[in-house]
Amino acid sequence: MRTDTTNRSFRSSRLRAWALVVTFVAAPTVIGGVGKAAEQATIVPNVLDFGKCAAGDTAAGTLWIINTNDAPITVVSAKASCGCTTIVDFVSETLEPRQAKVLHIRMKASSKHLDQQVTKKVTVTLADGPPVEAQLRIESVHPLYAKLLGFREARKARDTQRIAGYLAEESRIWFDTKEGPGTLRKPSGDGPWAEWDREMKSTSTTHEYEVNGNELVTIVSETNDYFKLLDRKPTPYQITYWFDDDERIEGMLVSSLPKEPKTKGRYDQFKAWADEHYPGVLDELEPDGRIIPSKENAIRWRKLLIEWRKDVGLPELNLKEAE
């Protein structure tokens, strides 16, 4: 399946840990721990998952060959099953018992199999005994989507230097409709909801995406303490990103999905309780029915919601403290 101007259908994609790619930095995922074992050696891990990588870019990771024998063994060669994979600077070596040798692996994401996971293998030959193998996995995605994943990872890590590399100088945010000048993003990448999101421990996941020229549209689902305390099911929403000629984010529009009903959970029950016990407080927290997204208001919301749940006999939730 391709992601271009001729194919505007959304595609579902499984999220895994992101690889160390040219467009962003994150460790590849180690799956399964100890690898397929022979009498003499084991490869760890047995599956190295590089996650999502921009088509045409290269991910990097490491494998370890461990001598599990009681005598020295000689590692003769290491070969990949595909030309897309390189074993960097391999040198034949004799390993003492329990000694390990590292293999530096580079794997190029395919430009032909966009949004598909590809699995290859590395085979290590020993001087005596059967060879040992490990699997490599990678999923190619559109370069702009890889940029977006890198930006999201940098924001999660609060790495301002990396964040700056993903944003145009006057990157702006709109909500509901792209009208007016929008809100200027802070150098940290924060928008108007950043303090609320951090205090409410919001987490979001991208599920589908579509690219048309310099525009990327993705579907996002989000959960946070506010939703959990109201027993509210998160409503998927849409974010549209616009990139400049240097593939930096210059604009972002957050909007509802067409025909996607909004969920309220127990909000009406909470509102009735709040109006009785704390008259006027919701007028302060959400004038005109819109939440004021500040850290202070998030703290007040959480305190009220926890008190309400306790007062009406709803189960207590295990909510961790905000960072």
pLDDT of residue 266: 95
Helix, strand, coil abundance in the chain, percent, nearest 5: 20, 35, 40
Q: Is 59 exposed, middle or buried (0-12, 13-18, 19+ CB in 10 A)?
A: buried
Mean per-residue pLDDT, 47-68: 95
Helix or strand holding residue 219 (H, E): strand 215-223
CA 3 to chain centre: 19
The pLDDT tens digits of the residues spanning 170-217 come to 999 999 999 999 999 988 888 899 999 999 999 999 988 999 999 999
> What domains does the chain contain, in order, with CATH numbers?
11-141 (2.60.40.10), 143-312 (3.10.450.50)
Tokens of 251: 């604009």
Calculate what percentage of the chain has a pLDDT beyond 70. Answer: 86
Spatial distance between the Cα atoms of 88 and 105, rounded to a whole number of angstroms: 6
Residue 8 has pLDDT above 80, yes or no: no
Residue 232 has pLDDT above 60, yes or no: yes
φ and ψ at 125, to 5 degrees?
A: -100, 135
Residue 66 has pLDDT above 90, yes or no: yes
Maximum pairwise Cα distance, the chain: 81
The Cα angle at residue 159 between residues 155 and 161, in degrees rounded to 5:
120
Q: Which residue has the tokens 């190619």?
A: 140
Spatial distance between the Cα atoms of 144 and 135, rounded to a whole number of angstroms: 27
Model confidence, pTM: 0.77
Question: Under DSSP, is residue 200 helix (H, G, I), strand (E, B) or coil?
Answer: coil
Is the CA virtual torsion 180, 186, 187, 190 positive or negative? Answer: negative
pLDDT of residue 187: 84
CB 114 within 8 A of CB 3: yes
Compute and round to an integer the Cα radius of gyration of the chain. 25
Say which DSSP state 109 is in. Answer: P
Residue 7 has pLDDT above 90, yes or no: no
